[in-house]
Amino acid sequence: MTTSFSVLSRGGGVGGGSSSRTILITGVSKGLGRALALEMAKRGHTIIGCSRTADKLKALQSDLPDSKHLFMNVDVRSNSSVEELARIVMEKKGPPDIIVNNAGTINKNNKIWEVPEEDFDAVLDTNVKGTANVLRHFLPPMVEKKHGIIVNFSSGWGRSGAALVAPYCASKWAIEGLTRAVAKELPEGMAVVALNPGVINTDMLASCFGSSASLYQAPDAWAVKAAAMILNLTGSDNGASLTV
């Protein structure tokens, strides 16, 4: 797999105020990740964002030009790429206060026996291995400090099943199980949760629902509620399966 890695913006430490937090969001260049980054930044928090789509990442950077934010072109499917991301983040910012494992993809609507091998692998590699790569490299310094909240994006289809999206369902059921297991490995005070964002009008939803995706709420409206919920998570939420 060819991976790219570049730092688009580097800043200093966390911005003023004890209430300001450093928030790492994967898949930050579009959809829910982008909307959440913009909302969290508006609330005064420092954003660390990564995406494998360089042009869209640069567009987000232009919307968030404050030098305290940090944006990197990273493919979460690549363990070495995430390892380098973690190295730079620790050097520039220290361990994040919150991690949102948002990066994800879905297969084209197909019965499981008609899903090409490469499409199945792409879904599992991004949604499951990508999340595991982030946990592998960011949890050790967070555990050492016994501080931090990890939000693994799940789905309603991670708690039920749906025809034509079996690979996606499998990946999100995996996220639910992974989250519950990791919760048992964290020290008191930390938390990892599986968060179903709900049904939002994104490119991924349109790939399944077609034009009817436009009937659902827009990412920016969703982000207001999601940001409030994520910021209010505490150690008592460890291991929970939640829904925005």
Query: Of 168, 192, 197, 230, which residue is the catalytic one?
Result: 168
Strands 149-153 and 98-101: parallel
Which of 94, 117, 92, 96 lies closest to 28, judged by CA?
Answer: 96
Cα 167 from Cα 122, distance rounded (Å) = 9
Burial 216-243 (b: 16+ CB within 10 A, else e): beebeebbeebbebbbebeeebbeebee
Q: Could you give the CA distance from residue 13 to residue 98 in angstroms, rounded to a whole number?
A: 15
Can you tell me whether residue 153 is helix, strand or coil? strand
Helices 130-145 and 166-183, packing angle to 10 deg: 20
Q: Which of 168, 100, 90 is nearest to 131 (CA)?
A: 100
Report the amino acid identity of residue 219. Answer: P
Active site residue 168: yes
List residues with catalytic annotation. Answer: 168
